[in-house]
Structure 1
């Protein structure tokens, strides 16, 4: 009788579990109304992101403070997310009367530190960091500040970032990312990661099974990945399985194999999420295409950056979605912010937002550079710098 009662209790428990559902990351399926609300919210947010979220450009500011020597250190001149902003800052520098030197960090923290110290030796007035975070360069930054060199973080994370150990801020200035978005990390976590998740939820009607490529040795991708998973967790009928990878896997050519292994392990997955578009041409795209040819034709591939190469992949159908960001505008906005610091003023909101894009809505341009296009922000900055 004791075993019979236990069996009945176990059966009852199984009925309850089945009634609750076992879909979603937590294993607890919400009500149909809850799921419908999450999907509706995701569709509304995605519609707004497709329209673009750029804000008003600055209306006024200080005239150009000429004669400055500035080093623009890019994490790499091979990746558009690093190179385009640095080159944009150099182009803006010509209108400001600056001598701007763009240097290649080669995705190597040792090189980052060497370049910062070279800028100090060159008696630079300022160093602009593009995807070069404080945590990897803390010692060299301390030396720059001691030498009176202004250190400006553009799309870079300061040493107080939660993924940098939560230390003290060291940048003398940084590019603001909008109302109530004080830091680059907040922008990534509040805007970028959730925007990818919203599209995934909306596109699959709340039935997403995501293979997420998870990179934790880079703070930027940790911000994107963590906020993506947090938003996806609100969809109780969605599932996210993470496939860890490192920068070393990219350089050694292992990323394609890791992506393929993840897709093999989770045959029901219908979405692959890459936290950076740069991963797609170096293995992720090939693994997804291979899976599609093997019968998974509906497999979706989502990313973030909207780089020139990403626009081509979107048009070809290899990539299905990207959170697009205006990278060259970022460089001009950083130069304007630095000029405000040189003039003794405060930085202001640049107006930079995002634009979600899919294979059916790719902008007809070689490089996405804001909803209004490059002429709009460039002429606005030049007008301000000329004192008009």
Structure 2
């Protein structure tokens, strides 16, 4: 069973503010950072720092299957947001005694399809696609299913019609997949609202390569509207996979910043974009002092930038990708054993230089998830 901790949002913020700022929590928040903020802004910031925290409690799996050949389809091994969870899936599968192979999707739909077909050719029993939805590689997923392969979600969604996957990875019982992705954008809005005392003038980068990109954007805009006050989106900039690969995204973002001199916030949906040149471009353009840059991921290189300061990013909504990766393997084990997939959780919360920042590496959350999963597997 997953127990979730939720904080007040939207219209409830004003009521919750005094209680939230007057006590400590395990979110790593510091009430001194709320000095000078309105009650609404202080409460929003506390929501972002607390995030959605979970306690992971799992029933044991009876008769965990053996001799399983698992292929992990990484969205792209050149970026930590794909390679880190792919490696974590491999480690979790090997903990179970399974054979595990990583196939590189190379950050494009053609590469995704090739990697899926590599798994089929390699005799996979299970394929776990990392950060890849069904719709972007539907034909290849159909071929895998026709070959008897079980597809288990690795953070993406089964948006094929009809659905093809044996199971998505289940997050929290009170959230559907769309709401889970919207939560990232919501926490970005809470953070920006709090940091700017309600006066948010945002440029929002909207990822068009997969369906979840729009959901993150929707989560931001909905929460900013719910928070009210003076927060607004000045411009939404659509960014595709080809534009991130050929570097043309950087010019689009720079143009949006130049066209919106009143902007004080830049919302980034993927940490890897910052590592891939966006952060450097922000610094070189002189926009780092103007913009509060809030990303999503919690990748180690981005956390290093935040730790250092002045590197083109101020905060990210961290989520425990290793935890989620082990959860995908847990889901596969339960499906293969004829059981019901569990709600495995995956904590997410705002991380900046003073809050929720691990001493080193990427964001992992506060639960020893490997110990909990291993216990459920009898390992």
| TM-score higher than 0.5 | yes
- Structure 2 length as normaliser, TM-score? 0.84
| Structure 2 residue runs without a partner (length 5+) | 1-10, 18-37
Tell me the SS of whatever aligns to 2:53.
Answer: coil
Does the 8 A contact of 2:49 with 2:351 survive in 1?
yes
Give the corresponding residue for 2:55. 56
CA–CA distance in structure 1, aligned partners of residues 276 and 211 of structure 2: 20
Looking at structure 1, the residues matched to 279 and 180 of structure 2 have their Cα atoms a distance apart, in angstroms, of: 26
1 CA distance for matches of 2:221 and 2:363?
27
* 2-structure distance, mates of 1:156, 1:215: 14
Tell me what 1:215 maps to: 207
CA separation in 1, counterparts of 2:171 and 2:44?
Answer: 19
Pair 1:34–1:238, CA change in 2 (3 A):
farther
Instruction: After TM superposition, give the deviation of residue 351 of structure 1 in Å.
Output: 3.0
Name the CA distance, whole Å, in 1 between partners of 2:49 and 2:115.
Answer: 38
Deviation at 1:211, TM superposition (A): 1.4
- Distance, in Å, in 2 between the alignment partners of 1:265 and 1:297 is 17
Residues 182-228 of structure 1 deviation map (CA, whole Å, 9 limit, x = unaligned): 32x33111x11100011111111111111112232332221111221
Root-mean-square deviation over aligned CA pairs: 2.3
2:364 match: 369
- Provide the residue aligned with 1:339 in structure 2: 333
TM score, norm. by length of structure 1: 0.82
How far apart are 1:288 and its partner, in Å?
2.6
Equivalent position SS for 1:153: coil
Deviation for aligned residue 1:36: 6.7
- Contact 1:255 / 1:282 at 8 angstroms: preserved in 2? no
Q: Aligned-pair distance for 1:236?
A: 4.5
> Unaligned 5+ residue runs, structure 1?
1-32, 161-166
List 4+ stretches of structure 1 deviating above 4 A.
33-42
Q: Is 1:306 equivalent to 2:298 in the alignment?
A: yes
- More displaced 10-residue stretch of structure 1: 281-290 or 260-269: 281-290
Seen in structure 2, the aligned counterparts of structure 1 residues 50 and 36 have a Cα distance that, compared at 3 Å, is closer
Task: Give the corresponding residue for 1:112.
Answer: 112
**Cα distance change on mapping 1:147 and 1:371 into 2, 3 Å:** same
Question: 2:72 aligns to what SS in structure 1?
Answer: strand
Please identify the structure whose Cα radius of gyration is greater.
1
Do 1:277 and 1:306's aligned partners in 2 also have CA atoms closer than 8 Å?
A: yes
